Amino acid sequence: MTAMTILTNNRTSTVTDLTDSYRRLPEVLHLLQFGDSALPIGGFSFSNGLESAIQEGIVSDAPSLREFVLTVMHQSATSDGVALLCAHRAARSRDIETLMIVDRATFERKLNEETRLMTVRMGRKLTELADAIMADPLNHEWLGRIKRAQTAGTHPVSLALVLAALGVEARDAFGAQQYGIATTILGAALRLMRLSFVDTQKILLEATGTVAPAYEKVLDAELNDMASFLPMVDILAAVHVKGHVRMFMN
């Protein structure tokens, strides 16, 4: 730790640009496991608004898909991203009351129904999964509160709890969440559009490149700073709720 501090000071840098060589291998593997799109928490049944965007002809090819992914990720960084960072801070200090406040604020900022459904469904499943595979008292207590309907159980809070328990840093947890948003949309795209894996992997590579700058912008943001502006996606979600042909839940 001391060596690390000295090194970073010499480079006049902050803790946010620690190079990956300082990250322990177990942390890298935890990130791979919980950032994986195949994590069985139901992400595959959501498209983050892509399904109706395709049905309405707004997203039709790789360039429009790329734009859609980047916009949603950008807005997610300033909303769910901030929620995750606030929850991570609270989880680190084992402060369950603050976690409840973060969870409520996150839920109340989801103004469309399908997004609310997605966040609480994935949040609960992740907390259940974590409770089954690792022994963390805070996560266990959190699951109890979700089950007793004392808290909504949004996904950013669940992810922060799991990753904080595994010793993953806030920045990396933020990265895992942003990565998850990109892979959810791109995974849905492969099933909804005529695209190749090469197209989606190319978009994913560009999308992951936006995560570090996005983190720099929100690293010290607080709960009241959570904001997003996606009126088009909101309207698409409304169209989707009333749609007749649906493969995805949002």
Partner 1 sequence: MQVHDTARELANYQNEPPQLRSGSFGKVGMVRLGFEPRPERTVLSTLHRRAPLIVQQALYWDEEMPALPCVSITSNAGGVLQGDRYLVEIEMAPKTQAHVNTQAATRIHEMDANYATQTQNLTLGADSYLEYMPFPIIPHKHSRFVQRTHISVDPTATLIYSEVLMPGRKYHKSELFQYDVFSSTVSAARPDGTSLFTEKFIIEPVLTNVSRLGAMGSFDVFGNVIVLTPKEHADRLLDAIDPAFDKAERLAIGASRLPNDAGLVFKVLGMETAPVNAAIRKFWSRVRQQVVGVPAPEKFLWA
Return residues touching partner 1 (CB under 8 A). 49, 53, 56-59, 64, 67-68, 70-72, 74-75, 78, 104-105, 107-113, 116, 221, 225-239, 241-242
**In whole angstroms, how close is the CB of 147 to partner 1 at the nearest point?**
19
Question: What is the C-alpha to C-alpha distance for residues 174 and 219, in angstroms, rounded to an integer?
Answer: 9
Task: Confirm if 83 and 100 have CB atoms less than 8 A apart.
Answer: no
Q: Taking the complex as a whole, how short is the minimal distance between the CB of residue 120 and partner 1, in angstroms? A: 11
- Give the whole-angstrom CA distance, residue 182 versus residue 187: 8
**Is the Cβ of residue 34 or residue 174 nearer to partner 1 in the bound state?**
174
Nearest to 172 by CA among 13, 56, 33: 33
Closer Cβ to partner 1, 59 or 160, answer by number: 59
Name the residue nearer to partner 1 (CB basis): 137 or 213. 213
Over the Cα atoms of the chain, what is R_g? 18
Smallest distance, Å, CB 143 to partner 1? 22
Closest contact distance (angstroms) between CB of 102 and partner 1 is: 13
**How far is C-alpha 134 from the geometric centre of its chain's CA atoms?**
21
CB of 63 to partner 1, least distance (A): 10
Spell out the long-range contacts of 73-76 with Cβ–Cβ below 8 A and sequence spacing 24 or more.
73/178, 73/181, 73/182, 73/207, 73/210, 73/211, 73/214, 74/210, 74/214, 75/228, 75/229, 75/230, 76/177, 76/178, 76/181, 76/228
Name the residue nearer to partner 1 (CB basis): 47 or 139.
47
Bin 94: left if φ > 0, else alpha if -120 < ψ < 50, else beta: left
Q: Which is nearer to partner 1, 8 or 78 (CB)?
A: 78
Nearer to partner 1, 19 or 150 (CB): 150
Instruction: Write down the least CB distance from residue 138 to partner 1, Å.
Output: 24
